[in-house]
């Protein structure tokens, strides 16, 4: 603990500058009693929690077309049918989760539903799936945004991964400022994106009705299928390809569960506002996705998984130099061919929403991590609110995990998306199973006819949701497992094992520390043998001696290690001359070691009197400059690290503040991370100290 404090104060000249930077980036610290001020109205909650599902419009249609392109252009005729099935699944899931938020408004979401109704193991499976999916949400969304940025700004080509990591850091910083502030900042771009896509679709359909819709830039190319699909989609391979396209399009459903995890962030009535936001999310997302898919077919889109070889111009492959713009980019260019500013607005809004889509995960992951930490499955630090009352540690961990994935996969969406949506459909299916059991359990005891009708209706909805999400999960696993989904599954298993291990450790520690029947507060050691470590006679040594004497131990002695005979003799002579009323013991050290002789001596005292306690007082300098730590307290740190592992030994640090440390105590004023978790007493103590 002391070592951590030493390093925390080590940059004493820099901290004030870093505090200024922190306050500029994060803002002023907020008192815990202002938590209610961070609650969200529906108009802010929609962009905060729905940006992930809404942003899927930018890549879910692309993935459908990419998958179907393997069988050639004729397969594109199925794109709108696949889109309809995906839309139907989304509406079913939204209806199912509206039951969730009414039944479990505490914010545990799928994890709470599964834990309460199916047991702790099922809850942990859901939690593992969601944690992995949140990290993938950030990686996929930001990588897709980086690709859009690279298509608009040629200078970014080849630097997508670096651009994506910078965007993740930006999002992390914004979310560290607090949920409400980040939501307010991101609301305008989200609404601009919705208006841009819906406006583009409306204008495009209007031009089509007038017979004035121009073709997209790829319409003049020929799309050929890959070998093995000469018979189109009629073969077994073709059927499997359709299922792959459907599972890729189901990426549009990611983020739906985030609202059920974020119910506590809504203003009252929380459940009703969350359910309304879910309905808005479903309606808007389905409308936007279907509009893009249908408009792309009307505009003659050709979109290939391997454009260099599958796209032909005059019968010749376009080659690696051909740059295939995303679907929305091609549509906006064609629909607004007479008004370029509108095209740039659509492109910019799409790129921004893909960055902001990750904001859904930045709200869901920290809350879920906090709940898991509260239950002992993750480190307790994840349950601690930061300066702005956000779960800062969870936000930082999410940013680090997403950045690692982005760099590992070089920000390539096509590779990352194969890992995607497995986790979310695991949570969907498990959650709906839990909800069916929830309503069945309540119906056993409910006698009110009106309440029973509501419960039966909810159970039917959740049963349909279970059937649909279960089928989709099987399809996703079957079609994506060999294409990279196994990595996500392996990650979920690893997270599950780690969380079980953490809970096992906490349980073992709690058992070890629990008070037994024979433990009583009156049990005292036979004697307290106090030792003051002395290197030379100076003011810190005299303070340590005075402090030890004030504690009135049974036995008190000063101990020094004889490394140099002349220095040891001089110390003994001065000790006697000053008539210090504490005996001085010299430990011989023929090999000039300091730590080992003291450890051996202390252990010898313990062996001689096992019922005694040994208290070791160590004088220490409190310094204020980072480089002073390199010059002082090194021996003290080594001694403490060894003594702390010795049973029956207490270590007391006796500080002596040097001039360079003056004023640093002011840096500890104000709210501290963890005060909210520690409860009202900590906040009262904080207020009393001001």
pLDDT tens, position by position, 334-356 = 999 888 899 889 988 887 887 77
One domain for residues 215 and 169 = yes
Q: What are the pLDDT digits (tens) for 511-520?
A: 877 766 665 5
**231 — pLDDT class (breaks 50, 70, 90):** low
Q: What is the mean pLDDT of residues 314-331?
A: 85
Contact yes or no for 50/193 (Cβ under 8 A): no
pLDDT cut 70: percent of the chain above it: 83
Question: Who wins on pLDDT, 491 or 363?
Answer: 491
Query: So what's the pLDDT on residue 210?
Result: 92
One domain for residues 373 and 429 = yes
Q: What is the mean pLDDT of residues 603-616?
A: 89
pLDDT exceeds cutoff 70 at 17: no
Query: So what's the pLDDT on residue 437?
Result: 92
Is 343 within a domain? yes
**497 — pLDDT class (breaks 50, 70, 90):** very high
One domain for residues 535 and 499 = no
Is 519 within a domain? no
One domain for residues 601 and 499 = no
Is 16 within a domain? no
Q: What is the mean pLDDT of residues 207-222?
A: 90
Counting runs of H as helices and runs of E as strands, what totals does the chain give?
Answer: 26, 8
Beta strands in 161-289, from DSSP E residues, in sequence order? 222-223
Query: So what's the pLDDT on residue 41?
Result: 76
Lowest mean pLDDT among 24-38, 107-121, 487-501: 24-38
End-to-end Cα spacing for the chain: 25
Is 371 within a domain? yes
One domain for residues 110 and 206 = yes
Tell me, what CATH number does 617's domain have? 3.40.50
One domain for residues 476 and 541 = no
- Mean pLDDT over each residue of the chain, to the nearest integer: 80
Q: What is the mean pLDDT of residues 531-558?
A: 92
One domain for residues 298 and 376 = yes
Label residue 534 left, alpha or beta by phi (over 0 means left) and psi (-120 to 50 means alpha).
beta
Is 669 within a domain? no
Tell me, what CATH number does 289's domain have? 1.20.1740.10
**644 — pLDDT class (breaks 50, 70, 90):** confident
One domain for residues 493 and 534 = no
Q: What are the pLDDT digits (tens) for 360-391?
A: 788 778 888 888 888 889 888 787 765 555 67
Query: So what's the pLDDT on residue 7?
Result: 40
Q: Which two tokens stand for residue 293?
A: 């898919």
**586 — pLDDT class (breaks 50, 70, 90):** very high
pLDDT exceeds cutoff 70 at 72: yes
Strand partners, 557: 531
DSSP letter string, 508-577: HHHHHHSPPTT--TT---S-EEEEEE-SS-SHHHHHHHHHHHHT--SEEEEEEEESSHHHHHHHHHHHHH
pLDDT exceeds cutoff 90 at 481: no
One domain for residues 207 and 119 = yes
Query: So what's the pLDDT on residue 66?
Result: 84
Q: What is the mean pLDDT of residues 124-141?
A: 88
Is 406 within a domain? yes
**571 — pLDDT class (breaks 50, 70, 90):** very high
One domain for residues 493 and 603 = no
Query: So what's the pLDDT on residue 664?
Result: 64
Q: What are the pLDDT digits (tens) for 114-127?
A: 998 999 899 999 89
pLDDT exceeds cutoff 90 at 549: yes
Q: What is the mean pLDDT of residues 215-232?
A: 77
Is 420 within a domain? yes
pLDDT exceeds cutoff 60 at 68: yes
Contact yes or no for 238/466 (Cβ under 8 A): no
Rounded to whole angstroms, the Cα distance separating 633 from 623 reads: 10
Q: Give the domain-ending residue among 506, 541, 574.
A: 506
pLDDT exceeds cutoff 90 at 209: yes
Q: Give the domain-ending residue among 443, 475, 506.
A: 506
pLDDT exceeds cutoff 50 at 593: yes
Query: So what's the pLDDT on residue 640?
Result: 85
Which contiguous run of DSSP H or E holds residue 656? strand 649-657
Q: What are the pLDDT digits (tens) for 663-683?
A: 666 554 444 444 434 444 444
One domain for residues 370 and 460 = yes
Is 113 within a domain? yes
Question: How many domains, in total, are found in the chain?
Answer: 2
Lowest mean pLDDT among 52-56, 93-97, 158-162, 425-429: 52-56
Domain residues for the domain of 572 are: 528-657
Query: 21-25 long-range CB contacts below 8 Å, 24 or more apart?
Result: 25/173, 25/176, 25/177
One domain for residues 541 and 484 = no
pTM: 0.69
pLDDT cut 90: percent of the chain above it: 21
Query: So what's the pLDDT on residue 138?
Result: 87
């Amino acid at each position: 603990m002391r070592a951590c404090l030493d390093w925390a104060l080590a940059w004493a000249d820099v901290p004030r500058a870093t505090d200024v930077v922190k306050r500029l980036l994060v803002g002023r610290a907020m008192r815990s009693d202002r938590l209610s001020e961070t609650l969200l109205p529906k108009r802010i909650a929609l962009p905060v929690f729905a940006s992930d599902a809404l942003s899927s419009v930018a890549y879910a249609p692309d993935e459908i077309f990419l998958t179907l392109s393997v069988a050639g252009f004729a397969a594109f005729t199925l794109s709108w049918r696949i889109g309809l099935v995906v839309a139907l699944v989304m509406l079913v899931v939204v209806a199912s989760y509206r039951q969730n938020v009414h039944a479990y408004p505490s914010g545990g979401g799928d994890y709470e539903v599964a834990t309460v109704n199916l047991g702790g193991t099922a809850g942990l499976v859901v939690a593992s799936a969601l944690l992995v999916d949140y990290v993938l949400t950030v990686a996929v969304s930001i990588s897709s945004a980086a690709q859009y940025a690279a298509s608009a700004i040629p200078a970014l080509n080849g630097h997508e991964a670096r651009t994506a990591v910078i965007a993740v850091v930006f999002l992390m910083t914004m979310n560290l400022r607090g949920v409400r502030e980040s939501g307010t900042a991101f609301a305008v771009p989200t609404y601009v994106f919705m208006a841009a896509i819906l406006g583009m679709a409306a204008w495009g359909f209007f031009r089509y009705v007038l017979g004035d819709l121009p073709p997209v830039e790829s319409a003049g190319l020929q799309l050929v299928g890959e070998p093995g699909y000469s018979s189109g989609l009629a073969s077994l391979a073709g059927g499997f390809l359709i299922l792959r396209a459907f599972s890729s399009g189901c990426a549009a459903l990611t983020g739906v569960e985030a609202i059920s995890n974020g119910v506590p962030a809504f203003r009252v009535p929380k459940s009703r506002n969350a359910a309304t936001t879910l309905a808005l999310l479903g309606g808007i997302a389905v409308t936007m996705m279907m509009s893009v898919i249908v408009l792309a077919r009307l505009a003659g889109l050709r979109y290939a998984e391997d454009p260099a070889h599958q796209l032909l111009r005059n019968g010749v492959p376009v080659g690696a130099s051909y740059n295939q713009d995303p679907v929305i980019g091609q549509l906006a260019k064609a629909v607004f061919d007479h008004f370029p500013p509108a095209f740039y607005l659509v492109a910019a809004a799409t790129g921004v929403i893909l960055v902001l889509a990750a904001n859904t995960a930045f709200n869901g992951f920290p809350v879920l991590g906090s709940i898991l930490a509260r239950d002992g499955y993750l480190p307790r630090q994840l349950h601690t609110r930061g300066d702005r009352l956000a779960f800062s540690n969870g936000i930082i961990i999410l940013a680090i995990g997403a950045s690692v994935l982005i760099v590992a996969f070089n920000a390539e969406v096509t590779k990352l998306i194969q890992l995607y949506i497995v986790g979310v459909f695991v949570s969907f299916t498990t959650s709906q199973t839990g909800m069916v059991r929830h309503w069945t359990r309540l119906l056993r005891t409910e006698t009110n006819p009106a309440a029973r009708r509501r419960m039966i209706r909810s159970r039917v909805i959740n049963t349909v949701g279970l059937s649909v999400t279960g089928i989709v999960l099987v399809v996703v696993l079957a079609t994506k497992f060999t294409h990279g989904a196994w990595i996500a599954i392996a990650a979920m298993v690893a997270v599950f094992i780690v969380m079980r291990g953490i809970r096992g450790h906490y349980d073992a520690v709690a058992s070890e520390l629990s008070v037994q029947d024979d433990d009583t507060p009156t049990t005292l050691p036979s004697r307290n043998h106090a030792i003051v470590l002395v290197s030379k006679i100076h003011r810190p040594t005299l303070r340590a001696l005075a402090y030890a004497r004030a504690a009135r131990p049974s036995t008190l002695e000063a101990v020094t290690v004889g490394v140099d005979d002349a220095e040891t003799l001089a110390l003994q002579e001065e000790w006697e001359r000053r008539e210090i009323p504490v005996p001085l013991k010299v430990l011989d050290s023929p090999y000039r070691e300091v730590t080992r002789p003291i450890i051996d001596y202390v252990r010898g005292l313990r062996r001689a009197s096992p019922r005694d306690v040994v208290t070791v007082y160590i004088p220490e300098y409190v310094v204020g400059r980072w480089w002073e730590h390199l010059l002082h307290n090194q021996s003290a740190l080594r001694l403490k690290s060894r003594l702390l592992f010795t049973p029956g030994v207490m270590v007391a640090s006796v500080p002596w503040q040097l001039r360079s440390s003056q004023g640093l105590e002011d840096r500890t004023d104000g709210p501290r991370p963890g005060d909210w978790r520690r409860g009202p007493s900590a906040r009262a103590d904080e207020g009393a100290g001001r």
